[in-house]
Amino acid sequence: MTGLLLVAQNIVGGLGIGCVYALIALGFSLIYRTMGLVNFAQGNLLMFGTYLGLTFYMGLLGLGKFSPFIAFLAGIILCGLIGIGLERLFRPLANLDLSYILVGTIGIGIMLDNIANHIWGSEGIVVPAPIANNEINVGGVRISPYIFIVMAMTVLLVIGLQLFLTRTNFGRGLRASAQDREIAACFGIPVNTMNAVAFAVGAGLAAAAGLLIAPMIYVNPAIGDSLGIKGFVAAIIGGLGDLPGAVIGGLLFGVIETVISGYISSSYTDLIAYLLLTVVLIVRPEGLLGARTVEKV
């Protein structure tokens, strides 16, 4: 295989995994923008949502098997409901110091991990892809067709989110309360409900990301840890709270990661990715797309 083809192959693969990171990053950014709270349990929500969806898809826990699409929706909706519950729990945390948010949300993460362990077991499961997974050959670049489904679903979800935020009253209210809580409340927008919606959407996006990546990995209760951190990294690269930035950050991180593992070393992929992130943050702490601000006393 020539060098150029290898690059193309890595980029396509990277964009596929990058879509998943983009969805997780969107969840982080959306919740941060509306509540000012970094939900460190996002990765654990992802894992939980994945298991919920797979329960329908694969007929776990004695349930019958459902079509992939219904299972996908069920996972998203159920995980969103958990998100609503979590918002109520975290509401008092939003005004506090970062370290409290960190420990509070991570406490929830520990719970979710171990509840999943309790319900579904820690062994892990292999998830069959919903379509036949024969690699197709596009001009010498070998691509798994499932990647296109991941990309298509991501595009659909991102467009759906954008329409929801800009075209519906609910979405406009959500953006208003993200911009200025007090004034939005004066205009009769139920800001707490909006926070709950943001949390639900964020959790739903996490579940979607997990379900999309499930056939590509070995699903176990620990998958949320590294996926959550990588999604957070993507959100930071794009500028935390910046939604288009989250998508770009996710895709970028996916490609970088795949290229590193293709060319340098697969066991040190994460190490290099984190070092790169450190450099990015030191050079541009506000993210690649963020505007520079001057801090006031």
Partner 1 sequence: MSKAWLRRWRGPLLWVALAVILAMLPLAAQLDSFWAHIVNEMAIYVILTMGMNLVMGYGGQINLAMGGLFGVGAYSTAIILLHKGSFPVAFVVSALLGTLVAALIGLPALRVRSHYLALVTLGLGIALDIIFTNWEAVTGGAIGLTSIPVAAIGTLQFDDDTKMSYLFLGVMLATLLIAAVFVHSRFGRNLKAMRDDLIAARAMGINVGIYQLTCFAFSGFYAGIAGSLYAVWLSYISPTSFDLNQSIFILAQTLVGGMGTLIGPVIGAILLVGLQQYLLSFGDLQLIIYGALIVVIVLVARGGVAGGLTALWQRLAGRARRGRKEIAMAPSTGERGAVASAAIGGTTGGSPTREERTGN
Cα–Cα dist 6/2, whole Å: 6
111 contributes a contact to partner 1 by CB under 8 A:
yes
Rounded to the nearest whole angstrom, what is the least distance from the CB of residue 265 to partner 1 in the complex? Answer: 9
123 makes contact with partner 1 (CB under 8 A) = no
Q: Rule CB under 8 A: is residue 69 a binding residue for partner 1?
A: no
Of 67, 95, 166, 179, the residue at the interface with partner 1 (CB under 8 A) is: 95
Within 8 A by CB and 6+ apart from 293, the residues are 286
98-120 and 42-57 are packed helices; what angle lies between their axes, rounded to 10 degrees? 20
CB closer to partner 1 out of 5 and 89: 89
**Cα–Cα distances in Å, from 179 out to 30, 92, 176, 218?**
12, 19, 5, 40
Minimum Å gap between C-beta 232 and partner 1 is 7
Number of helices and strands (H, E) in the chain? 11, 4
Least distance to partner 1, CB of residue 297, Å: 5
Q: 24 with 40: CB under 8 angstroms?
A: no
**CB of residue 111 vs partner 1: minimum separation in angstroms?**
4
d(CA 133, CA 144): 6
> What track of x and - describes contact with partner 1 for positions 258 through 297 (by CB under 8 A)?
---------xx-xx--xx-xx--xx--x---------x-x
The count of other CB atoms within 10 Å of the CB of residue 135 is 10
**Which listed residue (4, 59, 67, 114) binds partner 1 by CB under 8 A?**
114
Binding residues for partner 1, total number by CB under 8 A: 44
Cβ–Cβ under 8 Å, residues 31 and 39: yes
Binding site for partner 1 (CB under 8 A): 38, 89, 92-93, 95-100, 102-104, 106-115, 117-118, 225, 229, 232-233, 236, 240, 267-268, 270-271, 274-275, 277-278, 281-282, 285, 295, 297
